Structure 1
Amino acid sequence: MILNVARYNYPEQFGPSFDRLMENIGTQILEGRYILTDEVKQFESAFAGYLDTGHTIGLNSGTDALIIAMMALGIGLGDEVITQANTFYATVAAICFVGATPVLVDANPHTFLMNVAQVEHAITPNTRAILPAHIYGACTPMDALLRLSQLQSVYLLEDAAQCHGASFEGKRAGTFGEIGCFSFHPSKNLAAAGDAGACVTDSAVLADKIRVIRGLGQGRPNEHVALGLNSKLDSIQATILTWKLVLLDAWNESRQQIAANYREQLTGLPVVFQETPAGSTHVYHLFQIKTDARDNLLDHLIQAGIDAVVRYPQPIHLQPAFKAQGWNRGQFPVAEDLAATTLCLPIRPDMSETEINTVCGAIRSFYGAGR
């Protein structure tokens, strides 16, 4: 089958000076500059500056960022962490890996983000943290969660894996709570050439703890002062991320324009779009539409050579890995509905008008609608 509209275009992410980047990387390889080099420090400084936060600590993955953030805060056995039922597996798995108990709230049916109104009722004496996931690229309304975390004296963490550059009321996602956790997986708006991640924080104390944990618990060489992991951002990935970071805002603006084009062309069809909360920006890591005919529409798009995909077709509370948590079908109805009805359309910063029209034309033809 011919692919008419691809989901990714990796060559476009590197621009016309790719040879210069590869020469830089080749030098690092030949000189053995792999781990915690100046290139890593350069990216950490640049990303902290981009977010206007105090510290970035580069790590092996976004999953490690979540785990290490909770380790740095001392979250563990007997503690509860509140998150949402419509997030990626890693958000909840990280809570379990540190020995804590995940407590779920449902999604907001309009924004597809955490239902902030349910969080207060989920707090118990064992709650140690609230962990919203800024899903699909939209920033969760953080004002209410920030007030609640301060009032209840619990930590506020952020799973910012899908929202590089998004903001709420002018403040970047990932910088509201004690620690923000980022992924730079190749699918992300800011993408490494493999797995990579980071924690960001304004706290120098927490930054130092995270650095110790990522380096096998070493305070200095051969002195292990804490239990730690081996989770260090390598120099090659750091170089690639620094290379791309200067383009991130322009890419996000392109994604927003493409999303607006999709909305304009698809308005009037029996599809629902994710709403962006007031005060938030959306950087469209994914462009989701909601339709009762999701599976048939997906088949139609694939047959038309359009690389559409379903993300998270099974919500967290119904995943076999979390059976021991005792969650039941029907417990989080909005998350279940989103899992059954949402579909991601291709969205890349370099998408052409022809590609956008191809996607929209295929959807209109599925519904028997003209232009």
Structure 2
Amino acid sequence: MIPFVDLKAQYHSIKPEIDAAIQGVLESCAFTLGPDVVELEKEYAAYCNNAFAAGVNNGTSALHLALLAAGVGPGDEVITVPHTFVASAAAIYYTGATIKLCDIDPVTYTMDPAALEAAITPRTKAIIPVHLYGQMADMDPIMALAKKHGLIVLEDAAQAHGAEYKGKRAGSVGDLAGFSFYPGKNLGAAGEGGMVVTGNAEFNRKVRMLRDWGAEKKYHHELKGFNMRLEGIQGAVLRVKMKYIEKWTEMRRDAAGRYDEMFAGSGIETPVQMDNRRHVYHLYVIRTAERTRWIEELGGKGIQTGIHYPYPVHLLPAYADLGYKQGQFPHSEKAANEVLSLPMYPELTGDMQAEVVEAVKAL
């Protein structure tokens, strides 16, 4: 069996450090926020080449609270893409703002700046470009449009820890960024976790208040806040993993390079890393019009695969009320029907990849 992702392999490679970090939190009883979260926030902000980071309970909360901190609410429109995990749209819904969608670029799977420009209206307040599969969106034209129209840019960087665009790290280009530390992410917690990164001190202050019941001091609630704090154990685990994030990223990039070489000349449509970006390969995504058959046959050979994502947001029953119809976002719809994620994680070996590639070529 070649797993789609192997979390046990990563854990066992650093088991003594992880176990000691967790034991330290148990001994200190600093279970909610606490010193490990404080230090993680400093370390992660520095990793993103930005000033501030605020730990929250998951990546969805990071997007939600970032929007609220930026003043997004009822009457506003926020533009994102249909080809993403549903949380990108859900975070907008939670604020009371209106979800507006624009199509993706078919090569990078990220927001098409031309489609974005066509979607902007006088009610638009913010833009959420999604850095998908480990590659950042085309941020220069997006930022130029935001500046022209006076809009907030929130990077959805849930799959882009350490990714770069023209030398700038994910989390350092927009006004704010939301990261996820879901266990399978490039930097994954032992459970749930998220982070809001920003260079704006007031946005950072508001996120910190909103995550902790809208208060800066206990029982003094200035805002209508939430219980969305990052747990101390997650902070401790993530601090251990921060020491290895660049090593693991390069291992992912090496694995992607091996896949590229093995698939060369096969006709298989493989990921494209744009010249001005550092792809961190959270996922290695190929395309096929025969996905169902491929999944079944690869599974029969003991090779696990995934689909990210099988349904665009506008065709999900939960968001039918947006009023979009099939055919409105052709690139997103085509991708949703064809994308197939192959096994990808730092510990993936060349021999395992050779077996995957041989099986794919035989389909």
TM-score, normalised with respect to structure 2:
0.97
SS of residue paired to 2:332 = helix
Q: CA deviation at 1:256?
A: 1.1
Matched-pair contact (CA < 8 Å) for 1:308–1:345: yes
Matched-pair contact (CA < 8 Å) for 1:270–1:291: no
Partner of 2:248: 251
One-letter code aligned to 1:303: G
User: CA 1:347 to 1:17, structure 2 compared with 1: closer, same or farther past 3 Å?
Assistant: closer
Matching residue within 52, 63, 67 for 2:60: 63
Q: CA deviation at 1:205?
A: 1.1
Verify: 1:74 aligned to 2:39, yes or no: no
One-letter code aligned to 1:166: A
Structure 2 segments unaligned to the other structure (5+ residues): none
Matching residue within 352, 356, 359 for 1:355: 352
Moved over 3 A (4+): 14-17
C-alpha distance after superposition, 1:202-248 (max 9, x if no partner): 11111111100000001211100001111111110011111011111
* Aligned residue pair count: 363
Verify: 1:296 aligned to 2:293, yes or no: yes
Aligned 1:1-371 pairs, distance under 5 A: 3=1, 5-14=2-11, 16-366=13-363
Task: For 2:205 and 2:190, locate their aligned partners in 1 and report how far apart those are by CA, in whole Å.
Answer: 27
C-alpha distance after superposition, 1:113-145 (max 9, x if no partner): 111221111111000011100011001111111
Task: For 1:149 and 1:182, locate their aligned partners in 2 and report how far apart those are by CA, in whole Å.
Answer: 21
Matched-pair contact (CA < 8 Å) for 1:140–1:277: no
Task: For 2:251 and 2:315, locate their aligned partners in 1 and report how far apart those are by CA, in whole Å.
Answer: 35
Cα RMSD (Å): 1.2
Matched-pair contact (CA < 8 Å) for 2:256–2:284: yes
Matched-pair contact (CA < 8 Å) for 2:54–2:208: yes
One-letter code aligned to 1:127: T
C-alpha distance after superposition, 1:90-129 (max 9, x if no partner): 0001101111111111111111111122111111100001
User: CA 1:135 to 1:16, structure 2 compared with 1: closer, same or farther past 3 Å?
Assistant: closer
Task: For 1:116 and 1:299, locate their aligned partners in 2 and report how far apart those are by CA, in whole Å.
Answer: 36
Task: For 1:289 and 1:21, locate their aligned partners in 2 and report how far apart those are by CA, in whole Å.
Answer: 34
Task: For 1:24 and 1:159, locate their aligned partners in 2 and report how far apart those are by CA, in whole Å.
Answer: 29
Q: CA deviation at 1:21?
A: 3.0
Matched-pair contact (CA < 8 Å) for 2:258–2:350: no
Q: CA deviation at 1:15?
A: 5.3
Matched-pair contact (CA < 8 Å) for 2:117–2:145: yes
Matched-pair contact (CA < 8 Å) for 1:189–1:285: yes
Matched-pair contact (CA < 8 Å) for 1:112–1:274: no
After the TM superposition, which of the residue ranges 21-30 and 140-149 deviates more from structure 2? 21-30
One-letter code aligned to 1:230: N
One-letter code aligned to 1:361: E
Matched-pair contact (CA < 8 Å) for 2:21–2:237: no
Instruction: Report sequence identity in percent.
Output: 36
One-letter code aligned to 1:306: I
User: CA 1:20 to 1:242, structure 2 compared with 1: closer, same or farther past 3 Å?
Assistant: closer
Matched-pair contact (CA < 8 Å) for 1:141–1:279: no
